Amino acid sequence: MDPSHVGVVGLGGMGKALVDSLIAAEHPVAVWDRHTDRVATTAMIGAAPSVSPRQLAEQSDVIFLALPNPAAVREVLYDEETGVLAGLRPGAVIVDMTTGDPDLAQDVAQRVAALGNGVRYVDAPVSGTAPNLTVMIGGEAGVLGGAEAIVQDVAGALLYMGALGDGFATKLVHQHVKYATHLAAAEALLIAQQAGLDVAMVIDAVERSSGVIGGFKGVAEYYGGNKRAVAKHAPATTIAKDMRLAAALADSLGVTSATLAAAAEFFGTAAEGDYAKLPYPESTELLTRLRTAVQES
């Protein structure tokens, strides 16, 4: 396999950055997108336009998918006449950087394996922008084969998450953290605004304190087994008290905050039980009972 022949399917913001980086790394790049103006734009910088995903596959050994959703992936891959699977070269590698789910990875991998010509499919969703992507790869080191060097040309970090579909699952966890944090911060600043505070000064105070990274850091310490770091945190009763005060402030201002209500409810529960006097990250253990179908025997 000559892994220098690369195809990029999907030329939105992420796909366009991929093409720019691949061309900068001196790879021959074929491109396809349903929006022909995007294809024309990348052709102007040296990419080879394709009339269909199938034609792109016929001239590519490594194929990047940068599509908006799982439905688009299935459509681009599975069409019997124009799809990628209809034109794959023997030994080709499909690197799917779409934000998908584990079911998509299993479905595509089974169809690819059925072709019986040595082709491979790897879920590899990303964070950031090429050429500094963080790539969350659904497999162990080596799963990309000769395509790894190509992926390195667009990435700052390759993270091998373990098994097929684990890359997609990791990206969804990342999105949960990112946008739940966004919502919590947005609701908190709405409370600040309604309280008549100087929001710019509040932002400065939070950024200079533990508010920005402290919450995730505590969780990471807990799941990472860093007992010494966990032990330095305040007890659950202290956090429950703080959440009650914060919730009362929001109520007094007529602001409804779903994230604050959830935090107040959770730490209130923790403070009423065995975790009351323990460092608050220890109460994370409660989530197995409160938030999943797994029950203690």
User: pLDDT at position 271, please?
Assistant: 97
User: pLDDT at position 231, please?
Assistant: 98
Provide the 8-state DSSP code for 137: E
263-273: b (≥16 Cβ within 10 Å) or e: bbebbbbbbee
Least Cα distance to 60 among 13, 8, 134 occurs for: 8
* Residues 217, 91 within the same domain: no
Which stretches of 126-233 are assigned E, i.e. beta strand? 126-127, 133-137, 155-160
Reply yes or no on whether the pLDDT at 229 is more than 50. yes
In sequence order, the 6+-apart residues with CB closer than 8 A to the CB of 168 are: 99, 100, 101, 102, 104, 105, 123, 125, 136, 138
Residue 296 · residue 289 · CB < 8 Å: yes
Mean pLDDT over 45-65 rounds to 97
Query: Cβ–Cβ contacts within 10 Å for residue 54, how many?
Result: 20
Bridge partner list, 32: 9
* Residues 107, 247 within the same domain: no
User: pLDDT at position 295, please?
Assistant: 53
Mean pLDDT over 233-247 rounds to 98
* Residues 50, 143 within the same domain: yes
Higher pLDDT, 1 or 41: 41
User: pLDDT at position 293, please?
Assistant: 82
* Residues 141, 42 within the same domain: yes
**Which domain does 248 fall in, by range?**
170-290
* Residues 94, 202 within the same domain: no
Quick one: pLDDT band at residue 1, thresholds 50, 70, 90?
A: very low
Quick one: pLDDT band at residue 294, thresholds 50, 70, 90?
A: low
For the stretch 171-224, pLDDT in tens is: 999 999 999 999 999 999 999 999 999 999 999 999 999 998 999 999 999 999
Q: Does the residue 1 lie in any domain?
A: no
Reply yes or no on whether the pLDDT at 2 is more than 50. no
Average pLDDT of every residue of the chain: 96
User: pLDDT at position 4, please?
Assistant: 67
Which amino acid belongs to residue 125? P
* Residues 176, 244 within the same domain: yes
* Residues 253, 148 within the same domain: no
Bridge partner list, 188: none
Reply yes or no on whether the pLDDT at 297 is more than 60. no
* Residues 137, 176 within the same domain: no
Report phi then psi at 258, rounded to 5: -65, -40
Q: What percent of the chain has pLDDT over 90?
A: 96
Mean pLDDT over 116-129 rounds to 97
Cα-based angle 11, 16, 21 (whole degrees, multiple of 5): 140
Give the chain's domain count.
2
The CATH number that applies at residue 231 is 1.10.1040.10
* Residues 88, 155 within the same domain: yes
| Dihedral angle, C-alpha 131, 137, 139, 145, nearest 10 ° | -20
Mean pLDDT over 34-50 rounds to 97
Which amino acid belongs to residue 208? R
Take residue 168 and report the two structure tokens written for it.
């997609």
